[in-house]
Amino acid sequence: MTERRPILLANARILDPSRDLDIEGDLLLADGIVREAKRGIGAAGVPENTEVIDCRGKVVAPGLIDMRAFVGEPGAEYRETIATASQAAAAGGVTTIVCQPDTSPVIDDPAIVDFILRRARDTAIVHVQPMAALSKGMRGEEMAEIGLLKAAGAIAFTDGANSVTNAQVMRRALTYARDFDAILVHHTEDPDLVGEGVMNEGEFAARLGLTGVPTAAETIMLERDMRLVALTGSRYHAASLTCAEALDVLRRAKEQGLKVTASASINHLTLNEIDVGPYRTFLKLSPPLRAESDRNALVSALAAGLIDVVMSDHNPQDVEGKRLPFAEASAGAIGLETMLAAGLRLVHGGNVTLMTLLKAMSTTPAEILSLPGGTLRPGSPADVIVLDLEAPWVLDPAELKSKCKNTPFDEARLQGRVVRTIVAGRTVYEYV
């Protein structure tokens, strides 16, 4: 490995959401940590062999932490590997991937947690942290060994895109998680109400002749979970909220003082059901894209701090899974490389501030998962991104680093992109 030289990011706009810091100045990185961020460090304040990078006109911020990404390894390496996911993440400014347990085999055994961590150390250029299964085999029938899995390195517990419908199993898991100071991350969709649904229930689905998924499928499951959280006093994170009614449930829970947080995917914040257009399968997601009124409610909730986290919901699907009639196609879209760029649409549109967006993509995920990143405080890990807010570009799927190309932003016009990603004090991606 090449020598890790100190790096000075000079003349930048430095944004640190962990301190509400927004200054023009220099950021010094050395020995894998942030040394200082202030106005005019100057040549006299840095070591002789420091690499000086002029970031005039650019934003320097903490590296992003993506709380929900599918990585196919082990078992589905044809869709994504830890190595390719990390390359995609670096290109999108994501310095920590939190991978889901729906691999083959499922991450429900300490040995598999250890495999993910070792594989990431050997092949990844960004940090990779595994979530473990909430239930054995992600079948929702029997609680997984939460204590052993946490000891092995699992940072949270989830059944991925599966919902635990058995309330007794969920209550037991919440109780055990509380005793181990662990957090449960739950996909809130009642599978019986989802049924054969493939997109948002409503007029547009009816016009396309497609079976809809009612928002009640999400709201009912979330409402049940909030009752169980109140019963157990546990920490809980809603994996992906999509509708205004669910936001009302979340608001009431927070007002009651429950230890609950929630994510929204960048897709649901920037796209709606109309974008499905003429049966575009790259826009088939789970949960489905909702009405524009729901999207606006999500954006307002993000701006107000009700939605805590923005994540990519990176879910690579190969050509065989997407080149099918809409109802038969696999759900999911890639997002590691486009999460921030798509989110900047909300910033340029005046819907949220850049500080709010970066906080939801870095500082808050770090706080929820007790990770060391998401900050530029002195002594914190040197996981940093350099962002050109004004750079215009058109997304070419062929240039994406993910193994699969199922992006809903195919040929989209975007403004703003990551030009440098630094992990542990080393540059792992540079846009040239």
CB 217 within 8 A of CB 194: yes
CB 244 within 8 A of CB 297: yes
Place of tokens 């992600």: 138
CB 66 within 8 A of CB 89: yes
Q: Is 177 helix (H, G, I), strand (E, B) or coil?
A: helix
- Considering 66, 190, 313, 388, which one is annotated as catalytic? 313
What's the rounded Cα separation, in Å, for the pair 203 and 205?
6
How far is CA 127 from its chain centroid?
A: 13
Q: CA nearest 334: which of 239, 407, 240?
A: 407
CB 183 within 8 A of CB 219: no
What's the rounded Cα separation, in Å, for the pair 425 and 63?
11
Residue 321 gets the label, from left (phi > 0), alpha (psi -120 to 50) or beta, of alpha
26 part of the active site = no
CB 299 within 8 A of CB 346: yes
DSSP symbol at 50: P
Expressed in angstroms, the distance from the first to the final Cα of the chain is: 22
Half-sphere exposure of 24 (CA within 13 A, CB side): 3
Rounded-to-5 percentages of helix, strand, coil across the chain:
35, 25, 40
Kind of pairing, strands 7-16 and 132-133? unpaired
Q: Name 285's Cβ contacts closer than 8 Å, sequence gap at least 6.
A: 265, 267, 268, 313, 331, 332, 333, 408
- What six digits make up the tokens of 405? 């190309």
Radius of gyration of the chain (CA): 21
CB 184 within 8 A of CB 236: yes
What's the rounded Cα separation, in Å, for the pair 99 and 116?
9
| Residues tagged active-site | 313
